[in-house]
A = this chain, B = another copy of it.
């Protein structure tokens, strides 16, 4: 392993030492990515990390063949073909062997006990989740050891992105912006919301694999248009067959995932030329977004970007329409659990923290405008992972 590749693993191992966690045994895709740099296809791969040395990765044979993870020792297991044992038979066997080899009779082992929001795998049509059967099996195999919830430990590690992580997130954002560039150039009245979804998702899908080392890429583009649908778009957007009309606001909320690295962007455009009010509201939201981004510096609190955004929108008379948070952590998931940039948030911004910065207003009768970029806290100021926007 090169130093470059392992700064992340070494950082995690230091946190393990501090928390007196002897081993991590993780199955959530986001944690497998973090520990081994391998994005599981199905969600059944398992990563094991000691306090020192390389991780081990249990992986279905057919994935081992494709995936070739560089950071881990690979233990392939047969799965799902007629010749293969049941998945949990394989888990029990391999984990018991590891336990016996390492002499884990009374270790402190970090596992995933709390999960509801999870990152997806490459194959996203049917998630496979480490739930109750996994927990029961771990209790059985590691009887005698102490199973600790590693959720906070893993998030503490992910919170501070390494330079390697930031480079991967920049590539994920470049891919996302191939989709948003297509949106900006090709948007026309008469297109439907789902047509735009398909165009943006398809552009990223087909340009993704092979781009700057990217292997597996897909995107989900949610599209809202016109005064009603964009006003509702503060939380969710069911892309419909509504046809865009001349002068409509159009919003694309875009999740892009590349080999387990997430980009989360929101783009706005007008089908035609913006009118004065659209221009005014858009530029106020942009100003709020830029003011919030400027607060992404070491030593500020998690609340400071939110305060900055809210002040701009209050001053513009739009504060009451800004009904959600200013941003959320992301990178190994579309939403990481820390930080949230919002009123009352405690916590201090540190170099390497990545957040969305996405103020928005949703004005009945007019429509909704949100502008979202991904911004890292840099040593000397905000470090945009996506491309800052221009006023209309």
Contact = CB atoms under 8 A, between A and B. Distances in A.
A209 B115 contact: no
A209 B232 contact: no
B115 A131 contact: yes
A192 interface: yes
Contacts of A323: 81-83
Contacts of A201: 198, 201-202, 205
Given A198-B203, A201-B202, A240-B209, A235 B80 contact: yes
A3 interface: no
Counted per complex, copies of this chain come to 2
Contacts of A132: 113-115, 131-132, 135
A130 B118 CA distance: 11
Nearest to A118: B127
A280 to B, nearest CB: 24
Given A124-B120, A126-B334, A220-B125, A205 B198 contact: yes
B126 A333 contact: yes
Nearest to A130: B116
A194 interface: yes
A318 interface: no
Secondary structure dominating the interface of A: loop
Contacts of A42: 236
A130 to B, nearest CB: 7
Contacts of A120: 124-127
Interface string A79-90: 111110000000
B216 A238 contact: yes
A234 interface: yes
A66 B232 contact: yes
Q: Which of A65, A235, A241, A333 has the most CB of B within 10 A?
A: A235
Nearest to A262: B125
A128 interface: yes
Interface in A24-46: 41-42
A134 interface: yes
Contact of A209 (B122, B129, B239, B333): B239
Contacts of A208: 194
A141 interface: no
Contacts of A194: 205-209, 217
A202 B262 CA distance: 21
Contacts of A222: 123
A210 B241 contact: yes
Contact of A197 (B199, B205, B235): B205
Nearest to A306: B82
Nearest to A42: B236
Given A63-B236, A82-B343, 15 more contacts: A66-B238, A81-B235, A116-B129, A120-B124, A123-B220, A124-B125, A125-B334, A126-B335, A132-B132, A132-B135, A194-B205, A194-B208, A198-B202, A201-B202, A216-B238
Interface of A: 41-42, 60, 62-63, 65-66, 79-83, 113-120, 122-135, 192-195, 197-199, 201-203, 205-210, 215-218, 220, 222, 232, 234-236, 238-241, 255, 257, 262, 323-325, 333-335, 342-343
27 contacts: A41-B236, A41-B238, A82-B343, A113-B132, A114-B133, A115-B131, A116-B129, A117-B128, A118-B127, A120-B125, A123-B220, A124-B125, A124-B220, A125-B220, A125-B262, A127-B127, A129-B129, A129-B131, A131-B131, A194-B206, A194-B209, A195-B206, A198-B203, A201-B201, A201-B205, A202-B202, A216-B239
Query: Which are the 4 A-B pairs with shortest beta-carbon distances?
Result: A210-B241, A198-B202, A125-B255, A202-B202
